[in-house]
Amino acid sequence: MGSGTTLVEAKLLNRNAVGIDINPQSVFKSETNLQFKCETQSKIYTKVGSASDLHFIKDNGIDFICTHPPYANIIKYSKDIEGDISLLDVDDFLCKMEIVAKEAYRILKKRKTCAIMMGDIRKNGKVIPLGFLVMNIFLQIGFVNKEIIIKEQHNCRSMQYWKKQNNDFLLLAHEYIFVFQK
Ligand SMILES: C[S@@+](CC[C@H](N)C(=O)[O-])C[C@H]1O[C@@H](n2cnc3c(N)ncnc32)[C@H](O)[C@@H]1O
């Protein structure tokens, strides 16, 4: 959920939605951002929980998954919440993402779509292609690739920091939106 962007869009589009985040603060923020009036009748549910354990959602029950996980531990969303994958280094993060991908596959209806946004990261001067590593996990557990969308990033707050870190050389200036089908 983060701050609830996806749920806000779901509400505006008159779609029913279930939002999940491991961090209660994120759930609170999302609920606050959802408190606007609009003409639609959608039912929006929020829940504190982990994307790696969606036992409260039945198999083949969901029409569309839209998820934006942390990019391993490049930004930490909490200090010590158990299950927060933004606290994991790349290897542990990828192991957990395999469980997340399996849960996503389980709850999605056949032939429906799962979209995930993911970016690459830079560690110790090297690029780790986290986007493609995560994409491969989703492919290995059974999803097929419908689209690879490149989302360009301009004028980010962190740009000056990374320019300095990288001696004004190339910046990671895009993220991916992988669109999978079950
Ligand atoms: C990149 S942010 C999402 C931002 C969101 N797209 C928005 O527009 O605000 C990633 C979110 O994943 C959450 N998160 C971390 N581990 C999680 C887990 N195991 N299950 C569900 N959410 C998790 C973090 O608390 C954080 O809010």
- pLDDT tens by residue, 91-136: 999 999 999 999 999 999 999 999 999 999 988 878 999 999 999 9
What is the extent of the structural domain holding 172?
50-181
Number of domains composing the chain = 1
Q: Ligand 1 center to residue 33 CA distance, Å?
A: 15
The CATH number for 152's domain is: 3.40.50.150
Beta strands in the chain (DSSP E): 17-21, 44-48, 62-67, 108-118, 121-123, 126-128, 144-152, 174-181
Which mutation among 9, 18, 26 tests ligand 1's pocket best, with the greatest number of atoms within 8 A of CB?
Answer: 26
109 in a domain, yes or no?
A: yes
Round the average pLDDT of the chain to a whole number and report it.
95
129 Cβ inside 6 Å of ligand 1: no
Q: What is the pLDDT of residues 135-156, one digit of tens each?
A: 999 999 999 999 999 999 877 7
84 in a domain, yes or no?
A: yes
116's enclosing H/E stretch is strand 108-118
pLDDT at 49 over 80: yes
